[in-house]
Amino acid sequence: MRQFIPIFILILFLGILASANIYLTKRFSWYFEIRNSRYIYITFGFLTVFMLAGIIVFTNAQSQFANLVYSAAAITMGFLLYLVLSVACVDLIRLTVKLKPFTFGILALSLAVLVSGYGVWNAIYKRVREVDITLTGLKHEIRAVQLSDIHIGHFWGPKTLQNIVEKTNALHPDVVFITGDLFDGKIRLNSASLTPLQQINAPVYFVEGNHDGYSGAKEIKKMLREIGINVLENEVTHFSEIQIIGLNHMRAGNSPRGTHRTSTKPTIQNTLEDLNIFSGQPTVLLHHSPDGIEHANKHRVDLYLAGHTHSGQIFPFNFIVPLFYKYNKGLYTWKGTQIYVSQGTGAFGPPMRVGTISEITLLNLKPE
């Protein structure tokens, strides 16, 4: 039965897309009094196929043409989502307000454009979120900045990273942690894209994310090491009074029986067991996704830093993602181990944020 789940999800996804196309076609035929709706079906069908094909085919392509197609497809995805939601909002307005169909059509289009435009602006604008965290055994305060999910790629490049670095330096951090997904595709996978990181006025520690894996984790790590970034690969190191554990992106623990996964594949559980972790020092764990806090707690990790979730990134997914990630955004505590999950400094897919923010996190690590 388990093997049919992906097929079921695919069928459900395609069903949702088909239903959205039918819904939009019927409404726009009514808004603008178009009797032959065939061309509207073709238009929305084309946009849907273009959206899916552009993102799937050109994610890792490197030409300028591919970048243009991917960017247009990703923006189309976000706009179509908010067009469906805008039409649904207009349908609710129609229950109490009587206007001409044409007016409702213009209202729906305008709302979709406004929300999409705001989403793009909100993704570009980086906000600083300041959080105070107490660590047992710490003697002096440490100002740490966490950056996560920058996603250098089709939309974000050296200029975006330069802006992030300048805002980071303005916080006067003692140390900077990058918790994965620095890149998002191969389009800007070169040393020039990383040049701004050399300007950070503090030691920088990096762990990979799943998108770094898709983009070329080995090459990314090589370039980072060449500019003096501390790349951690399932290892323990130290900064000032704190012990830092850096893990590659991996699953939390061994899979349940009945799956094809073997216990020899690295997990947070078995990797932590193999490391030489000193229990008498304040410990910070860096891992891309907020998984396996129970294993971190077993090894007396004081603070777990992660990203990955984007907190859903765009409405309504900011309400859906918490169903899959118990630790979705912000600070939590589990049996004495604190975990902070960044909403991400950048964005992937549609370059939009609605209901979430692009955050640079200032973590004030304080003595008890």
The model's pLDDT over 133-146, given as tens digits with 9 standing for 90+, comes to 999 999 999 999 99
**Is 105 in the same domain as 191?**
no
**Is 132 in the same domain as 97?**
no
**Is 66 in the same domain as 196?**
no
* 3-class SS shares of the chain: helix, strand, coil, % to 5: 45, 20, 35
User: Token digits for 305?
Assistant: 């830093």
What CATH code is carried by the domain that includes residue 140?
3.60.21.10
The predicted pLDDT at position 7 comes to 84
**Is 230 in the same domain as 284?**
yes
**Is 149 in the same domain as 58?**
no
CA distance 221 to 308: 19
3-state SS, residue 84: helix
CA distance 189 to 228: 17
Residue 352 DSSP label: -
Q: How confident is the model at residue 3 (pLDDT cuts 50, 70, 90)?
A: low
**Is 177 in the same domain as 144?**
yes
**Is 189 in the same domain as 67?**
no
CA nearest neighbour of 250 among 201, 208, 305: 208
Residue 368 CB neighbours (<10 A): 9
Count of the separate structural domains present in the chain: 2
Which of 76, 104, 123 is a domain's end point? 123
Query: Strands 358-367 and 152-153, how do they pair?
Result: unpaired
Count the helices and strands in the chain (H runs, E runs): 11, 14
The predicted pLDDT at position 365 comes to 98
The predicted pLDDT at position 260 comes to 39
**Is 55 in the same domain as 188?**
no
Which of 62, 95, 123 is a domain's end point? 123
**Is 202 in the same domain as 293?**
yes
Task: Give the CA diameter of the chain.
Answer: 75
Domain coverage including residue 258:
127-367
**Is 95 in the same domain as 156?**
no
Mean pLDDT of 5-25: 90
User: Token digits for 252?
Assistant: 């939390």
Contact 272, 255 (CB under 8 A): no
Which of 94, 123, 152 is a domain's end point? 123
Residue 4 CB neighbours (<10 A): 9
Positive or negative, the Cα torsion across 290, 76, 164, 366?
negative
CA distance 320 to 311: 9
**Is 300 in the same domain as 329?**
yes
Contact 175, 239 (CB under 8 A): yes
Q: pLDDT, tens digit, for every residue of 222-239?
A: 999 999 999 999 999 999
Beta strands in 140-299 (DSSP E): 142-147, 152-153, 175-179, 183-184, 204-207, 230-231, 235-239, 242-246, 283-286
Report the predicted TM-score, pTM, of the whole model to 2 decimal places. Answer: 0.93
**Is 162 in the same domain as 93?**
no
